[in-house]
């Protein structure tokens, strides 16, 4: 095989090979960085209502209400999507097995329910396994790296207090970036901080963007 034939193959390999940003145990790494990464996610059961603003390709925008009831200790989540007028468009329960209770068009595509539940878990549930590594990200911010069954998840703590999740697939492609601002909503004094403002950017396989803003939240003791 001559060099002319090899060149396209090399270019193809370079394009298809993605690499993760390096995470190094250098610099001013907080001693409790791994605990801080884990503590970024809710630990107790919550019921939350968010407005969800969606940006689709082509400039179309959509707004809905999202209801989520999660019990991290049991790894279970229920969710519902409502129109602004209160029409229940979608509802599902996931305790390891996804059960769709209601799905009106266009929310009746099975892939959509799977993707929605994966996004919810990415936002609200910490990875099950302990971090693969922790240290400084290339941005100079402390973070943790988790190995998942089908990829990698990085959690970065910003100096502003924001948490940024980078989710990579098995080919190390960045498929999701989630920026989370936590707060203590009214009426929840003494409780843990929860995600109040969330920006989810999806890059693969479909491109879309979701902006979630908290409407109300209540800690719960009963399970979904």
Partner 1 sequence: MGPTALVVLGLVTTGWSSSWDSIRAAARDIQSIQAAFTQEKHLQILSRPLQSHGRLIFAAPDRLRWEYQAPLPSVLLMDEGRIQRFVKTGDSWTEDASAALPAMSFVMQEIGRWMNGRFDENPDFEARLEPGGKIVLTPRQAALATVIQKIVLQLAETPGVIDSVNVYEDDHNFTQLHFKEVAVNQPIDPALFKHHS
| Among the listed residues 60, 128, 149, 160, the single contact to partner 1 using CB under 8 A | 60
Tell me if the bond preceding 205 is cis, omega within 30° of 0. yes
Does 85 engage in binding with partner 1 (CB under 8 A)?
yes
**Beta carbon nearer to partner 1, 51 or 118:** 51
Structure tokens given for 3: 């060099």
From the list 84, 29, 80, the residue with the least C-alpha distance to 53 is: 84
Q: Can you say whether the dihedral through the CA atoms of 186, 187, 190, 195 is positive or negative?
A: negative
| Among the listed residues 27, 30, 62, 205, the single contact to partner 1 using CB under 8 A | 62
Least distance from partner 1 to the Cβ atom of residue 48, Å: 10
Please report, for residues 90, 94, 190, 210, the alpha-carbon distance to residue 82 in angstroms, rounded to integers and kept in the order given.
7, 18, 30, 15
Inter-residue contact 216 to 48 (CB < 8 Å): yes
**Beta carbon nearer to partner 1, 141 or 208:** 208
Least distance from partner 1 to the Cβ atom of residue 41, Å: 20
Does 9 engage in binding with partner 1 (CB under 8 A)?
no
Does 56 engage in binding with partner 1 (CB under 8 A)?
yes
Count of CB atoms situated within 10 Å of the CB of 53:
15
| Among the listed residues 37, 41, 42, 69, the single contact to partner 1 using CB under 8 A | 69
Does 104 engage in binding with partner 1 (CB under 8 A)?
yes
Does 121 engage in binding with partner 1 (CB under 8 A)?
no
Count of CB atoms situated within 10 Å of the CB of 213:
12
Under DSSP, the state recorded for 21 is P
Q: How many residues does the chain have?
A: 224
Instruction: State which of positions 125-184 bind partner 1 (CB under 8 A).
Output: none
Give the interface with partner 1 as residue ranges (CB under 8 A).
47, 49, 51, 53-54, 56, 60-65, 67, 69, 78-80, 82-89, 91, 102, 104-106, 215-216, 218, 220, 222, 224
């Amino acid at each position: 095989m001559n060099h002319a034939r090899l060149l396209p193959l090399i270019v193809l390999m370079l394009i298809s090979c993605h690499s993760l940003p390096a995470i190094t145990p250098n610099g001013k790494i907080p001693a409790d960085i791994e605990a801080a990464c884990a503590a970024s996610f809710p630990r107790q059961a919550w019921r939350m209502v968010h407005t969800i603003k969606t940006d689709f390709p082509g400039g179309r925008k959509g707004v809905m209400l999202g209801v989520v009831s999660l019990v991290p200790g049991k790894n279970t989540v229920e969710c519902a999507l409502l129109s602004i007028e209160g029409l229940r468009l979608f509802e599902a329960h996931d305790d390891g097995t996804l059960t769709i209770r209601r799905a009106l068009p266009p929310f009746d595509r099975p892939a959509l329910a799977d993707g929605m539940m994966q996004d919810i878990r990415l936002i609200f549930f910490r990875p099950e396994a302990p971090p693969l590594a922790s240290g400084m990200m290339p941005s100079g911010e402390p973070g943790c790296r988790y190995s998942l069954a089908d990829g990698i998840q990085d959690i970065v703590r910003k100096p502003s207090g924001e948490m940024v999740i980078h989710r990579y697939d098995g080919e190390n492609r960045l498929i999701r970036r989630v920026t989370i601002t936590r707060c203590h909503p009214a009426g929840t004094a003494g409780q843990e901080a929860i995600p109040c403002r969330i920006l989810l950017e999806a890059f693969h396989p479909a491109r879309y963007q979701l902006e979630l803003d908290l409407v109300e939240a209540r800690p719960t003791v009963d399970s979904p």
